[in-house]
């Protein structure tokens, strides 16, 4: 397997070390990086993230990482976004206002809203815990995994791509939402592979071996 170096971007808003340890567990050489120069020379790039959309985008802008991330993606090298790292790829996020994202994938990031539904009390926000992936065929990230594999989620917002063809998996939480996307060299998950035990490790191993 082609285990190239994995570069994980540290911009102060990710559970970096658990992501790094999970990659190391599957034999990948994963390191944490902080600068634009590090991004430019990365062989594979991971953008993790937990927290608020606006704060994350603001931090990436202040650290002058937005341009280098877009350039990296345009180069065709493998890219993985995790949780907030998925959401920031989109045009706009609506968390406490309206905030411009990285604009890599057309679409928006919206909040779960079950108000007025008879089952609203059962549908918790944030969506937290284990849930199933309904996997579309042909995505190398999910090689070796059965449909309806369980992964771990913690989120109140979800992505709505303008083009359904980028949707790689869906998950049911009151609605069927896009729980991961793929376009060319860009892969991104709403769930946390690093917290998803054997299934998550297999996903990270597949990414490392692209």
Active site residues: 83, 192, 194
With H, G, I as helix, E, B as strand and everything else as coil, classify residue 124.
coil
With H, G, I as helix, E, B as strand and everything else as coil, classify residue 205.
helix
Cα separation of 125 and 66, whole Å?
30
DSSP string, 35-87: SHHHHHT-SEEEE---S-HHHHHHHHHHTT-HHHHHHHHHTT--EEEETHHHH
How far is the first Cα of the chain from the last one, in angstroms, to the nearest whole number?
8
């Amino acid at each position: 397997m082609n285990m190239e170096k994995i570069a994980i971007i540290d911009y102060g808003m990710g559970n970096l070390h658990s992501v790094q340890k999970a990659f190391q567990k599957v034999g990948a050489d994963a390191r944490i990086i902080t600068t634009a120069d590090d991004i430019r020379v990365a062989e594979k790039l991971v953008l993790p993230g937990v927290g608020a959309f606006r704060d994350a985008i603001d931090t990436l802008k202040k650290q002058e990482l937005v341009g280098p991330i877009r350039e990296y993606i345009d180069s065709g090298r493998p890219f993985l976004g995790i949780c907030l790292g998925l959401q920031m790829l989109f045009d706009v996020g609506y968390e406490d206002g309206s905030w411009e994202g990285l604009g890599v994938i057309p679409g928006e990031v919206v909040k779960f809203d079950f108000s007025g539904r008879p089952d609203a009390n059962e549908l918790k926000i944030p969506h937290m815990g284990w849930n199933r992936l309904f996997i579309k065929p042909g995505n190398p990230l999910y090689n070796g995994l059965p449909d309806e594999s369980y992964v771990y989620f913690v989120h109140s917002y979800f992505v709505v791509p303008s083009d359904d063809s980028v949707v790689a998996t869906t998950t049911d939480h009151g609605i069927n939402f896009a729980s991961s996307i793929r376009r060319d060299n860009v892969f991104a998950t709403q769930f946390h592979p690093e917290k998803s035990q054997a299934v998550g490790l297999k996903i990270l191993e597949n990414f490392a071996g692209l």
